[in-house]
Amino acid sequence: MNITHIVGGSRLIGDIWVSGAKNACLPMLAATLLTSDACVLRNVPILRDIQTMLEIFRNVHADVTWLNHHTLKIGTSQSDNRFPFEYVSQIRGSVCLMGACIGRYGHATVPKPGGCRIGERPIDLHIKGFQALGYDVKEEKDLIFISAGKLHGATIHLCGPFGSTMTGTMNVIMAALPIPETTIIKCAAKEPEVIDFCNCLRSMGADISGDGTSEITIHGGRTLHGYDHTVIGDRIEAGTFACAALATQGKIRIFGLKNGLLSNFITTLSLGGASIFHDFDHIIHVESNGPLSPLDVITGPHPGFPTDLQAQVCALLTQSDGTSTVEDKVFPRRFLYVNELQKMGARIQVSEGKATIHAPTSLTGAMLQATDLRASAALYIAGLCAKGETCVYDTHHLERGYENFCEKLRALGANIFQSNTNKA
């Protein structure tokens, strides 16, 4: 079992580069199924979830080649679509295989996706979207069967109880591509990863407009060819490092993220008194001005405060100067990590999707269990500002979504290392 050891107390100082965005990259990998041409994807982050997606492609006999450290070439001309349950069920991004597969072949049999334990992860909106286009969808145990009925363009509302759906929007776009009519998605997800995904599809020849707004229009029936696309930087990784720097009273610059992609987060932390801004050269400057003032944070779909930074900001707010609240309106049950922070002395109560954080708290190192990807990052942040040594077990959760996280933290001055016990 891998354990990460963090000895708290070092200020983070220096420069880091963020990797490519996992949540843009996974659907783009799925989109290679839309064409028999080879596709080249650049700035691919080296992560466990990406490796899992590539295992799926190798299993269906796609041609997967690393051209260099972060550049992939994938050809699916010889591939079948017998997707392996073992891998598809490990990650959420695999849900996009459905849209990609029906976009190419008109039918698909895909195991249900997995993903982090952060509450309900239904796919009813994806299915509703496919059905509105004329696809027949059947669910049987762990499998989804999709076949083409009489396909037609449609106006589809993708609004769920907590707003739109990111992977659902991308899936319905792909399912609409072969239909030579117009499809309009209302209440579409507006996340930067959706825009980057649409840029990638446009480079294949797709006719899509309106991405980045709540209404996306697809004129289907265009012939699609291979793409050569560079994935955008990871805004969640950037936000995670910003939280880590502020929690340690540090000063860092973050490179690799286009200006404007993290605005709500930056404005929120500025309101708390942090010196943080994203300049026109796309560099984020982060400097602590002492403990933050208390904040009331509410997550929401983009351009709201990202749910994927909720846990990290909670860890940071244990060091603020008073009582803060953090409410998750996208995944209200995404607070499993709070038990672990409490072992370090954090005073946090969670009720109905809202955490109340009493601060400041002097955290003490402890033995902690990582529960999911972003929760792991929150535990690392808490460890960085705690007294003594923190040991985090089950680091594979973190490796799903952060490339070289420990190495990057160490380069900023963190006292962090990994060990392995041979116990399973």
User: Side-chain half-sphere of 274: how many Cα atoms within 13 Å?
Assistant: 34
Q: Does 122 bind ligand EPU (CB under 6 A)?
A: yes
Minimum Å gap between C-beta 184 and ligand EPU is: 18
Minimum Å gap between C-beta 338 and ligand EPU is: 17
Interface residue with ligand EPU, options 68, 120, 422, 423 (CB under 6 A)? 120
State the helix-helix crossing angle for 310-317 and 235-247, rounded to 10 degrees. 10
Beta strands in 206-258 (DSSP E): 207-209, 215-219, 228-230, 251-255
Interface residue with ligand EPU, options 10, 19, 43, 167 (CB under 6 A)? 167
- 8-state DSSP, 120: -
The residue count for binding ligand EPU (CB under 6 A) is 28
Binding mask 28-57 for ligand EPU (x = CB under 6 A): ------------------------------
Binding mask 290-329 for ligand EPU (x = CB under 6 A): -----------------xx---------------------
Nearest Cα residue to 268 out of 233, 237, 244, 303: 303
The helix/strand/coil state of 285 is strand
* Residue 144 β-bridge partners: 110, 139
* Separate counts of helices (H) and strands (E) for the chain: 14, 23
Minimum Å gap between C-beta 139 and ligand EPU is: 13
Tell me the C-alpha distance between 218 and 209, whole Å. 7
Minimum Å gap between C-beta 166 and ligand EPU is: 4
Residue matched to tokens 């609004």 = 159
Q: Does 166 bind ligand EPU (CB under 6 A)?
A: yes
75 vs 168, which CB is nearer to ligand EPU? 168
Q: Does 157 bind ligand EPU (CB under 6 A)?
A: no
Q: Does 168 bind ligand EPU (CB under 6 A)?
A: yes
329 vs 408, which CB is nearer to ligand EPU? 329
In what side-by-side order are the strands of the sheet with 228-230? 63-68, 71-75, 38-42, 228-230
79 vs 165, which CB is nearer to ligand EPU? 165
To 5 degrees, how large is the angle CA 327–CA 323–CA 14? 85
Secondary-structure percent of the chain, ordered helix, strand, coil, rounded to 5: 30, 30, 40
Q: Does 23 bind ligand EPU (CB under 6 A)?
A: yes
* Residue 254 β-bridge partners: 16, 284
29 vs 366, which CB is nearer to ligand EPU? 29
Minimum Å gap between C-beta 264 and ligand EPU is: 13
To 5 degrees, how large is the angle CA 330–CA 336–CA 337? 110
For the segment 344-373, give every residue that binds ligand EPU (CB under 6 A): 373
Task: Enumerate residues 6+ apart whose C-beta is below 8 A from 60.
Answer: 76, 79, 80, 81, 82, 83, 84
Q: Could you tell me the maximum CA-CA distance found in the chain, to the nearest angstrom?
A: 64
Stretch that binds ligand EPU, among 114-122, 241-249, 335-343, 414-422 (CB under 6 A): 114-122
Instruction: Exactly one of 39, 96, 101, 116 is catalytic; name it.
Output: 116
Binding mask 255-294 for ligand EPU (x = CB under 6 A): ----------------------------------------
Q: Which helix (H) or strand (E) holds 99?
A: helix 96-105
Minimum Å gap between C-beta 306 and ligand EPU is: 6
104 vs 190, which CB is nearer to ligand EPU? 190
* Residue 289 β-bridge partners: none
Q: Does 397 bind ligand EPU (CB under 6 A)?
A: no
Evaluate whether 94 touches 56 at the Cβ level (below 8 Å).
Answer: yes
Q: Does 162 bind ligand EPU (CB under 6 A)?
A: yes
Q: Does 190 bind ligand EPU (CB under 6 A)?
A: no
116 is catalytic: yes
Binding mask 80-109 for ligand EPU (x = CB under 6 A): ------------xx----------------
Question: Is 320 exposed, middle or buried (CB count within 10 Å of its CB: 0-12, 13-18, 19+)?
Answer: buried
Q: Does 123 bind ligand EPU (CB under 6 A)?
A: yes
Catalytic amino acids? 116
The site for ligand EPU (CB under 6 A) is made up of 23, 26, 92-93, 116, 118, 120-126, 160-162, 165-168, 189, 307-308, 330-331, 373-374, 401
